[in-house]
């Protein structure tokens, strides 16, 4: 009942969970649902960043309960997705109730834990981070089932604990990592408390749990690991991670919920984040520093949790240690704990915000507070906690006084009086409830205690953590993410990019800073965007084209040496034909001249430009030319005489000998089929050459020519090329993540040396001079072609025999190393 009441603003559709929940995760679920209901694979996404391995992205939600929502609805509504997200909190809360039930702890404590878990701290304030909410819910379920496994020592309980842990780890984030360490601590504490008999009894269930969990996560984690290694952020340095630290004064929000004005729309947020008056290098939004989880739970943790030592009871001690660790970890650079964790705990280096530990602060604080309430309600009759209440009141007053001093120092004392007064009121209500619960011991008293806890806690959390500008906004703000939207910019772009069947064109667009909710709109509406919104992006593409996590404003457009302007060869190769901008394009791209791009429309959102030089998605080239792609990305220089219409650039020699240099060929091409994970191209060419698909190259794609598998060459820095002989052929590209990942892993474990196709040198007599002193015997190697030598700056060519050595012997060491 409490869950329904507290979630009703979202369940009713009057508000929706904003920001990442819509701009990122709504689009992800929409893409997943549309792929499934159109009979396509959701494993590759061509709608953002010129292509991305969706199956390897933990934020794609493929390996989450979202797949059930996608199976049910082809176009999940905002209300459905919000209910799905909030449902995780309900499941997590029920799991904690089951944990208390298994332990025989008081039901009022169980309900308190469930409510605080679901609506306290970051569970309430960061509900827009859908993946982390799911991780938090699975942590609660896994904690319950792990405790049950250790309590019962049965194989069945071990199986369920392992499956729950596997589901938790399937979408790896920092909540999963920290939660896993808590679970490890619970098991170790159980062993230390029970000695060898407890270790021996739990080995069988634990072994089965590990096998079940590993079986569930092995492939998804392999995909995610390989993808992360190829992205822009495989590891976060300590200084960068420290910028996501929780400022110590944010701990005051545990006592005074809205001290900094994060909830009150009439108060400008004045806390320590994005505020030049505080530390300038803390990159958190205002909601990330909110740790309020209720006056009663906090009071219980202080008195009698600390004052009576209840938090150090053997039954709850590992969670108390975990709670303290999470507080210190969240503070990041303000304590040495985070640096030690960064240096010595596996996994910490790949996440950028120690403040994410606030999720676990709320979850563990919920269990601890519920346990303390259980101890109070199960204490011997006549036990007095008045002294504890006096100590708790003193601590609360000290925290409130500190809050007032901080407010005065920041010049916001006037804004602080209201939240301070409300906080004192809620703590007074908590104290009265504390005294009332002590009397709930006989007859219907347990029922009364449950009702009292539910009523007071629901009111407290609704008042302090309820809907606000960080967690609830009108749905109309995100209309552009509705499949049925009537937005004129979206309608225009869908009309412009539509092509007749078989056309080689599949033009890309760029949504240049139209707003936070726009970058992933292409995933909802089915057109291809050069950019997008995702912290994980292929590094190769990002270095060449220039990407950030998102593109909410025009100032976030990042140009690169290889993509210095919209009037450049890379933009043309991408097929970037239409650009929608809220400002005149010359204000963003200062290198443009008057007629480089054509203004073709004005909409409510801004200006729509056309790049008339954008190339088709599929091209044919009769000749090839060698190029060093890494050097090109650094310098921005394309090889001389590399006509983008007549020659394809490759970074390795093609399997079959073919013309080097530009060669005009009148080949006929047809893009016969273009789906998420499958592309078919028909080609009719008078000469051998290369079919180039201007989608991003990735090692998990495979290609066939007339049913025979062939190599996909990396072409023009980013794209895919397949060599074909003269005649009519059908080229088929398919995305095979399992086969591709296994092959990539095998290559990492046991790298294969390139096969040397040169004939062996003939044996020579010991009396003969060395190769450097005498002409070469046997077959003479011609060495690199003139085009290759020019690109490597090796100078003029001559025969190897005339130089008295092998061709390779004359290549400068640096170039040979390249």
State how beta strands 623-626 and 647-650 pair: parallel
Dihedral angle, C-alpha 478, 482, 488, 492, nearest 10 °: 130
DSSP for 412-444 reads -HHHHHHHHHHHHHHHHHHHHHHHHHHT--STT
Q: The tokens of 522 are what?
A: 């292409």
β-strand 713-715 against 719-724: which pairing, if any? antiparallel
pLDDT of res. 443: 66
Q: Are 359 and 326 in contact (CB under 8 A)?
A: no
**What distance, in Å, lies between the first and last C-alpha atoms of the chain?**
67
What local confidence, expressed as pLDDT, does residue 565 receive? Answer: 97
Angle at 247 between CA 245 and CA 248, to 5 degrees: 125
Bridge partners (DSSP) listed for residue 598: 610
Work out the mean pLDDT of the chain and round it to a whole number: 91
Cα separations (Å) of 701 from 27, 442, 539?
A: 24, 69, 17
- The total number of residues shown for the chain amounts to 818
Nearest CA to 174 among 349, 361, 324, 23? 349
For the residues 77-90, what does the mean pLDDT come to?
98
- What tens digit of pLDDT does each residue of 680-717 get? 999 999 999 999 999 999 999 999 999 999 999 999 99
Structural contact between residues 738 and 43, judged by C-beta atoms closer than 8 angstroms: no
Contact 728, 760 (CB under 8 A): no
pTM of the model: 0.89
pLDDT tens readout for residues 427-466: 999 999 999 888 766 667 788 899 999 999 999 999 999 9
State phi, psi for 601 to the nearest 5 degrees.
Answer: -165, 155
Spatial separation of the C-alpha atoms in residues 67 and 715, rounded to whole Å: 35
Tell me the pLDDT tens digit for each residue of 573-624: 999 999 999 999 999 999 998 889 999 999 999 999 999 999 999 999 999 9
Half-sphere exposure (Cβ direction) of 560: Cα atoms closer than 13 Å: 23
Query: How confident is the model over 259-311, as pLDDT tens digits?
Result: 999 999 999 999 998 777 787 788 899 999 999 999 999 999 999 999 999 99
- Rounded Cα–Cα distance for residues 373 and 570 (Å): 64
- Residue 641 — pLDDT band, cuts 50, 70, 90? confident
Q: Mean pLDDT across the stretch 784-804?
A: 41
* pLDDT surpasses 90 at 806: no
158: pLDDT confidence band, cut at 50, 70 and 90? very high
The pLDDT value given to residue 122: 98
Dihedrals φ, ψ of 608, to 5°?
Answer: -120, 120
Q: Binning pLDDT at 50, 70 and 90, where does residue 320 land?
A: very high
Contacts of 703 (CB under 8 A, 6+ apart): 709, 710, 711, 712, 720, 722, 731, 732, 733, 734
CA distance linking residue 349 with residue 233, whole number of Å:
10
Q: What is the 3 state secondary structure string of 464-489?
A: HHCCCCCCCECHHHHHHHCCCCCCHH
What are 51-70's pLDDT values in tens digits? Answer: 999 999 999 999 999 999 99
d(CA 477, CA 464): 24
The pair of three-digit structure tokens given for residue 389, joined into one six-digit string? 């209440």
Helices and strands in the chain: count of H runs, count of E runs:
27, 16
What are the b/e assignments for 285-298, b being 16+ CB within 10 Å?
ebbbbbbbbbbbbb
- Residues of the chain above pLDDT 90, percent: 84
Both tokens of residue 719? 């794209």
788 pLDDT above the threshold of 60: no
- DSSP letter string, 590-657: TT--TTTSEEEEE-SS-EEEE-TTPPPSEEEESEEEE--HHHHHHH-PPPTT--TTTEEEESS--SS-
Give the tens place of pLDDT for each residue, 355-407: 999 999 999 999 999 999 999 999 988 889 999 999 999 999 999 999 999 99
- In angstroms, the CA 589 to CA 513 distance is 13
Residues 6+ apart with CB under 8 A from 389: 303, 431, 434, 435
pLDDT score, position 501:
94
Whether 218 has a pLDDT exceeding 60, the answer reads yes
């Amino acid at each position: 009942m409490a869950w329904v009441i507290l979630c009703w603003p979202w369940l009713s559709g009057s508000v929706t969970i904003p920001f990442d929940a819509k701009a990122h995760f709504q689009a992800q679920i929409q893409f997943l649902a549309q792929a499934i209901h159109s009979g396509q694979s959701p494993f590759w996404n061509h709608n953002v960043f010129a292509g991305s391995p969706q199956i390897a992205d933990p934020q794609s939600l493929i390996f989450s309960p979202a797949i059930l929502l996608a199976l049910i609805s082809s176009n999940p509504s905002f209300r459905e997705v919000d209910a799905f997200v909030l449902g995780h909190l309900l499941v997590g809360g029920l799991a904690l109730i089951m944990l208390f039930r298994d332990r025989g702890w008081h039901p009022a404590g169980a309900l308190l834990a469930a409510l605080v878990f679901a609506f306290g701290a970051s569970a309430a304030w960061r509900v827009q981070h859908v993946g982390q909410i799911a991780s938090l819910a699975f942590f609660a379920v896994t904690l319950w089932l792990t405790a049950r496994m250790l309590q019962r020592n049965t194989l069945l309980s071990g199986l369920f604990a392992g499956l729950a842990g596997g589901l938790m780890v399937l979408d790896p984030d920092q909540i999963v990592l920290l939660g896993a360490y808590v679970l490890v601590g619970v098991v170790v504490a159980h062993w230390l408390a029970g000695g060898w008999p407890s270790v021996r009894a739990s080995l069988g269930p634990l072994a089965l749990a590990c096998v079940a969990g590993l079986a569930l996560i092995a492939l998804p984690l392999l995909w995610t690991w390989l993808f992360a290694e190829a992205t822009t952020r495989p590891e976060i340095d300590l200084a960068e991670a420290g910028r996501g630290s929780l400022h110590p004064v944010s701990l005051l929000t545990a006592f005074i919920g809205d001290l900094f004005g994060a909830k009150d729309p009439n108060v400008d947020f004045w806390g320590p984040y994005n505020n030049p008056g505080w530390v300038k290098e803390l990159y958190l939004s205002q909601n990330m520093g909110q740790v309020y989880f209720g006056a009663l739970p906090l009071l219980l943790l202080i008195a009698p949790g600390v004052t009576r030592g209840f938090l150090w009871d053997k039954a709850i001690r590992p969670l108390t240690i975990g709670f303290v660790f999470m507080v210190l970890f969240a503070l990041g650079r303000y304590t040495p704990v985070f640096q030690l964790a960064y240096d010595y705990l596996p996994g910490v280096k790949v996440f950028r915000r120690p403040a994410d530990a606030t999720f676990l602060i709320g979850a563990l604080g919920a269990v601890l507070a519920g346990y303390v309430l259980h101890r109070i309600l199960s204490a011997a009759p006549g036990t007095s906690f008045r002294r504890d209440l006096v100590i708790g009141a003193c601590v609360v007053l000290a925290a409130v006084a500190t809050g007032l001093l901080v407010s005065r120092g920041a010049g916001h004392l006037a804004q602080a009086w209201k939240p301070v007064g409300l906080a004192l009121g809620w703590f007074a209500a908590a104290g009265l409830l504390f005294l009332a619960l002590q009397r709930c011991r006989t007859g219907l008293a347990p029922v009364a205690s449950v009702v009292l806890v539910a009523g007071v806690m629901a009111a407290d959390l609704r008042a302090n953590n309820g809907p606000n500008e960080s967690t609830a906004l009108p749905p109309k703000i995100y209309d552009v993410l509705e499949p049925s939207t009537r937005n004129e910019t979206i309608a225009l772009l869908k009309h412009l990019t539509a092509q007749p069947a078989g056309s080689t064109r599949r033009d890309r667009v760029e949504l240049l800073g139209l707003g936070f909710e726009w970058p992933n709109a292409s995933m909802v509406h089915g057109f291809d965007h050069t950019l997008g919104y995702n912290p994980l992006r292929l590094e190769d593409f990002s270095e060449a084209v220039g990407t950030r996590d998102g593109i909410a404003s025009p100032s976030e457009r990042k140009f690169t040496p290889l993509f210095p302007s919209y009037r450049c060869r890379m933009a043309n190769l991408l097929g970037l034909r239409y650009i929608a901008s809220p400002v005149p394009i010359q204000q963003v791209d200062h290198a443009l001249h008057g007629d480089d791009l054509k203004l073709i429309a004005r909409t409510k959102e801004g200006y729509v430009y056309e790049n008339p030089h954008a190339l088709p998605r599929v091209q044919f080239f009769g000749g090839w030319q060698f190029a060093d792609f890494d050097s090109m990305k650094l310098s921005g220089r394309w090889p001389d005489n590399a006509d983008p219409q007549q020659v394809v650039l490759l970074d390795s020699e093609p399997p079959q000998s073919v013309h080097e240099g530009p060669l005009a060929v009148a080949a006929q091409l047809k893009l016969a089929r273009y789906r998420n994970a499958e592309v078919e191209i028909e080609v009719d060419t008078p000469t051998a050459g290369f079919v180039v698909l201007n989608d991003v190259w990735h090692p998990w794609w495979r290609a066939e020519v007339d049913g025979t598998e062939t190599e996909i060459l990396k072409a023009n820095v980013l794209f895919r090329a397949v060599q074909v002989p003269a005649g009519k052929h059908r080229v088929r590209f398919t995305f095979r993540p399992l086969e591709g990942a296994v092959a990539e892993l095998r290559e990492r474990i046991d790298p294969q040396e390139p096969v040397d196709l040169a004939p062996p040198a003939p044996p020579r007599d010991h009396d003969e001079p060395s190769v450097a002193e005498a002409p070469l015997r046997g077959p003479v190697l011609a060495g690199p072609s003139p085009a290759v030598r020019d690109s490597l700056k090796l100078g003029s060519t001559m025969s190897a025999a005339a130089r008295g050595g092998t061709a390779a012997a004359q290549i400068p060491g640096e170039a040979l190393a390249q």
